[in-house]
Chains A and B, each alone.
Chain A
Amino acid sequence: MSVIFSTMSRLFFVLMLVASIYMLFRGHNEPGGGFIGGLFAALAFALLALADSVAAARKALIVHPVVLIGCGLFLAFLSGLPGLFSDGSFLTHWWAELGSTHLGTATIFDIGVFMVVIGGVLALVFRFYEGVEQ
């Protein structure tokens, strides 16, 4: 792809990743959340795959997308476990107040969803782009 695109894509990659993390943590009381944050982040990696090559994007992701899916799902599963000990029901969330922010096991669940969405979308997108590149 063109040099301009390649150069700017690095800037946009970082910006989009920051926006995705912001979206993830915004989701508690306002529109946002793990799903949309994950889409933003996946879009960032897809941009990298478009600008440079799928191999470069895979290296930026470090792990295989399916591993991300597994880790995210496991994180979501772990976030539901504390509820079993306190209330007797899976997915009952514990909350903690740090100043004005609400954090809790629900945030961990959302991060798990974030990772699953990144992994899922990128598993498909990388496959598509590799097919196109040939």
Chain B
Amino acid sequence: MFDTLLLWPVILPLAGAALAAALHAFPAVQRQVALTTMVLTFGASLFLVDAVMEGAILTKAFGGWMPPFGIVFVADRFSAAMVVISSLLALCALVFAMGDLRQRQVRSGFYPLFLGLMIGVNGAFLTGDIFNLYVWFEVMLIATLGLITLDRTRAQIDGAIKYAVLNLFSTILFLMAVGLLYGATGTLNMADLAVVLPQTEPSAALTLTAMMFLLAFGIKAGFFPMFFWLPASYHTASIIVSAVFAGLLTKVGVYALFRVFTLLFEVDNGTLKPLIAVIAAGTMLFGVFGAAIQWDVRRILSFHIISQIGYIMLGLAVATPLALAGAVFYIIHHIVVKANLFFVAGAIHRATGSFDLRKSGGLMKASPLLAVLFAIPALSLAGIPPLSGFWAKFMVVDASFQGEAAWLAAVALFVGLLTIFSMSKIWIEAFWKEHPRAVRARPVPAVMLVPIAALGIITLAIGFNPEPLVAFSNLAAESMGDRTQLIGAFYGGEHTAGVTP
């Protein structure tokens, strides 16, 4: 029974997407199907986390084909945590959609595409085969292309072109890297690669593979200098879609990068570590600089996604167990906070009618509840104690001091300052100042406030009681770097190593 737990986070959205597509003519039923599917998926993911909590690594082979030839799903603490958070986020997005989604968007196929995105996300988090990772990335790409262009406005089509070209290019790079890896080692299974790669002598092919993985996942995750597709496309989609993208898409790229560089390649060799450190610093800085000049809430938040990804990369650049634990904590905190901020932006739009900060205002008086609900994720993003962002930043900065990369800590703290600047800009413009045309704010429906409040409560809970999550992150980082445990989980009996052609 425990074994099939791995399959439900992928199979349930698959069935749900199929049903939602088949019920194309009945939009109301589609919503019920989607909600039921996501509730069931969230429940399954909670069971999954419970099963891996003691440190067991679950594996499940598809089709009865044994590894290393068959495709395997693997769950350790890191993947299980990712699946839980993404399912929770999807559920919140669906609840928010009950208040914000227009009939036309539903008729364009929002629910099947959304569930299709969740198939890809959960599959990418759970897979143990590197080519299967490519397949899930493509499922996500197809679903996101459909979701960005849901309204078929000119801005959305423009954003979709920029998103599509750069992500398709990164897909091609990824495919080339996978091919090269197979040619050099003879296997595609991640655990098998972890066994075979240390035994293969270093060659130009392997260095090239590592660089191409870095480039491909860097484009997907939004690193400097490859992030320019992100602020060009995320703000064009409808706000629910933007929230889900912000919370999930870049994190899947980051997750894949962590898997490749903790399991397959070592960060600690000569050129890779300073390179990743410079990329992390550049990502943090340029993300927040880009946000400083924007006036559209969504564009500010899109640039902030980039700068926060830089913080997560800082964890990988330092590569000590404490740094990796800090990165895991940061990912979990950031998914919650960033999606919450996008939902708040959607609520601001509902209340004032515009995403442009210069055209909004007066929300502090009109809706003090919304002001509080904005303050929680905003202050958490900036790293103000006692919210979750403070602990995340603390772990990452502390790790970089201990890992002798103090300059990274300096950059991180400086960027935190500029993040406060951006958040206070949104606060002042949207909440504090009077509305420029003294228009009454429209009420925000409760169904939109509920997911915002839920995510805010999670942020507060992590902030006031960080110890369980810190301990979990430490354990997750340990199992990330410890290859032997993963390999042991695969090969209970005999072990067929990579078969080189």
Contact = CB atoms under 8 A, between A and B. Distances in A.
Q: Do chains A and B touch in the complex (CB under 8 A)?
A: yes
Interface of A: 64, 66-67, 69-74, 76-77, 80, 83-84, 87-93
B25 A90 contact: no
Interface stretch (B58-66, B278-286, B328-336): B58-66
B310 interface: no
A88 B4 contact: yes
A71 B22 contact: yes
B263 to A, nearest CB: 23
For B17, B19, B22, the residue with the greatest tally of chain A CB atoms inside 10 Å of its CB is B22
Interface string B1-26: 00110010001001101111111110
23 contacts: A64-B24, A66-B21, A66-B109, A67-B25, A69-B21, A70-B21, A70-B23, A70-B24, A70-B112, A71-B18, A73-B17, A73-B18, A77-B15, A84-B4, A88-B3, A88-B4, A89-B61, A89-B62, A89-B63, A90-B7, A90-B11, A92-B62, A93-B63
A88 B61 CA distance: 9
Contacts of B64: 83, 87, 89, 92
Given A87-B64, A89-B63, A74 B24 contact: no
Given A73-B14, A73-B17, A74-B15, A91 B62 contact: yes
Contacts of A91: 62-63
Nearest to B8: A90
A91 B112 CA distance: 22
Interface string B29-71: 0000000000000000000000000000000111110000000
Nearest to B3: A88
B62 A67 contact: no
B48 to A, nearest CB: 15
A67 B61 CA distance: 31
B21 A67 contact: yes
A77 B11 CA distance: 8
A76 to B, nearest CB: 8
B34 to A, nearest CB: 13
A84 to B, nearest CB: 6
Contacts of A67: 21-25
A66 B22 CA distance: 7
8 nearest A-B pairs in the assembled complex, by CB-CB distance: A70-B21, A70-B22, A73-B18, A74-B18, A92-B64, A91-B63, A66-B24, A67-B24
A37 B11 CA distance: 25
Contacts, number: 63
A64 B21 CA distance: 10
Contacts of B4: 84, 88, 90
B333 to A, nearest CB: 33
Given A83-B63, A89-B61, 9 more contacts: A70-B20, A71-B22, A76-B18, A77-B11, A77-B14, A83-B64, A88-B3, A90-B4, A92-B64
Contacts of B17: 70, 73
Contacts of B3: 88-89
Contacts of A76: 18
B21 A89 contact: no
B308 to A, nearest CB: 35
Nearest to B64: A92
A88 B112 CA distance: 28
B18 A70 contact: yes
Nearest to B70: A89
A90 B61 CA distance: 8
Contacts of A73: 14, 17-18, 21
B500 to A, nearest CB: 27
A57 B16 CA distance: 28
A84 B64 CA distance: 10
B32 to A, nearest CB: 15
A93 B62 CA distance: 10
B484 to A, nearest CB: 25
A74 B62 contact: no
A74 B63 contact: no
A30 B346 CA distance: 54
Interface in B241-278: none
A70 B19 contact: yes
Interface in B106-165: 109, 112
A50 B232 CA distance: 38
Contacts of B25: 64, 67
Nearest to B61: A89
B363 to A, nearest CB: 40
Contacts of A69: 21
Contacts of B63: 83, 89-93
B142 to A, nearest CB: 10
A72 B17 CA distance: 11
A91 B61 CA distance: 10
A74 B19 contact: yes
Contacts of A90: 4, 7, 11, 60, 62-63
B18 A77 contact: yes
Contacts of B15: 74, 77
A89 B4 CA distance: 7
A73 B18 CA distance: 5
Contacts of B20: 70
